[in-house]
Every structure is written in C-alpha cells, then in structure tokens.
C-alpha cells in the first residue's frame, strides 16, 4: 500500500503559498550518505543561529521542537548559541554565493527541517553534498583540539553545529 502524502502549505515572511509534500516518516528514510548527529529539535535547544532562525515559521513544524528552543525574535544574539559566539554569515552573503534556492529561502537548516519532516526534493543531492563538505571542519577540530576541550575553536564548533554535527563529542 503506498504511503499517504501529507500536503504542507507555507505562508510566512519569506514564502507565500509554497506547497510541498511529506512522503517519508518523520526522521526516517534518509539518504545513506546523510547521517546528521542532531535533529532539528536538538539543534534549536542547543542554540543555533543566534536564536533568530525560524521565529516566524513555527506553525510549519512540530510544537515540541520549540519547547526548549533558544530563540530571539527581535535580533540575532550570539549569546544564545551553544558556544556563545557568532558563527553565522548573513543571508545576503548566502544569496551572493548562490547557496539559497527558492524552495528553501532560509537556507540549509530550513532544507534539513523539511527533509527531517519527510519532504524529499530535487535539491536533496546538492544539500547533502554541502553537508558532507562541512566534515572538513570537524576534522580540523579533531586535529587541533584536545578531546572534550569545548573552549578550543568555539567558533568552528558552533559552525559545525549549524550543520547538525555534534562537536561536543569531539
């Protein structure tokens, strides 16, 4: 029996009338090459993107993701990040580099949240390739930091956290 597709309609500050379908169970059936350490809920609770991310689109995702999320709707606040430092580039920089596509105007993390929820799209291969490329930063942390030294390379640790790598375990 084929899986039931759930239709999602997005209407927030960055997208109006965008429709996608959830075709996989939440948190399951990921591409074999895609093995993130953290779920979107875990990332939000740890503190990512200075708390500014996803403050106007909560209705699209499970309420449980936001119960312990460190968010700040007013402004980007690096103190809310897990490592207390700014490791983000502006959306303008991401657009200038061509990393933002229309289906996910907030970038990789929005893609990941939707992928985690069960959406599969034509952009999956590109986004998974980008995720895998971040592993070089994980290697740099391993190479230059003593195991468990969370003060070492805090900005780089925060950056890999933004990509669902858990650098607290390095």
Say how far apart CA 164 and CA 149 lie, in whole Å: 19
Q: What spatial distance separates the first Cα and last Cα of the chain, rounded to whole Å?
A: 43
145-153's contacts with Cβ under 8 Å and 24+ in sequence apart are 145/170, 150/83
Per-residue pLDDT of the chain (170 residues; tens, 9 = 90+): 556 799 999 999 999 999 999 999 999 999 999 999 999 999 999 999 988 877 888 899 999 999 999 988 778 889 999 999 998 887 788 889 888 899 999 999 999 999 999 999 999 999 999 999 999 999 999 999 999 999 999 999 999 999 999 999 98
State the sign of the Cα–Cα–Cα–Cα dihedral 10, 15, 21, 26: negative
Based on the number of CB atoms within 10 Å of its own CB, is 134 exposed (0-12), middle (13-18) or buried (19 or more)?
middle
Spatial CA neighbour of 66 closest among 83, 50, 53: 53
E-assigned strand segments in the chain = 6-11, 16-22
Beta-carbon count within 10 A of 116 CB: 20
Q: Any residues with CB less than 8 A from the CB of 61 and at least 6 apart, and which?
A: 40, 54, 113, 117
Q: What is the pTM of this model?
A: 0.93
Beta-carbon count within 10 A of 17 CB: 7
Model pLDDT, residue 117:
98
């Amino acid at each position: 029996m084929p899986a039931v597709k759930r239709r999602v309609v997005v209407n927030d500050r960055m997208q109006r009338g965008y429709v996608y379908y959830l075709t996989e169970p939440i948190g399951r059936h990921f591409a074999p090459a895609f093995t993130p350490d953290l779920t979107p809920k875990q990332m939000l609770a740890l503190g990512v993107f200075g708390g500014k991310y996803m403050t106007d689109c909560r209705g699209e995702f499970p309420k449980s993701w936001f119960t312990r999320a460190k968010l700040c709707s007013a402004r980007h606040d690096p103190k809310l990040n897990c490592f207390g430092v700014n490791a983000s580039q502006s959306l303008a920089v991401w657009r200038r580099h061509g990393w933002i596509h229309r289906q996910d105007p907030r970038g990789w993390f929005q893609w990941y949240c939707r992928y985690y929820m069960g959406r599969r799209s034509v952009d999956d291969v590109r986004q998974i390739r980008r995720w895998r490329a971040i592993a070089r930063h994980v290697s740099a942390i391993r190479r230059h930091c003593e195991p468990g030294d969370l003060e070492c390379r805090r900005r780089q640790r925060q950056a890999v956290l933004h990509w669902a790598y858990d650098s607290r375990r390095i």
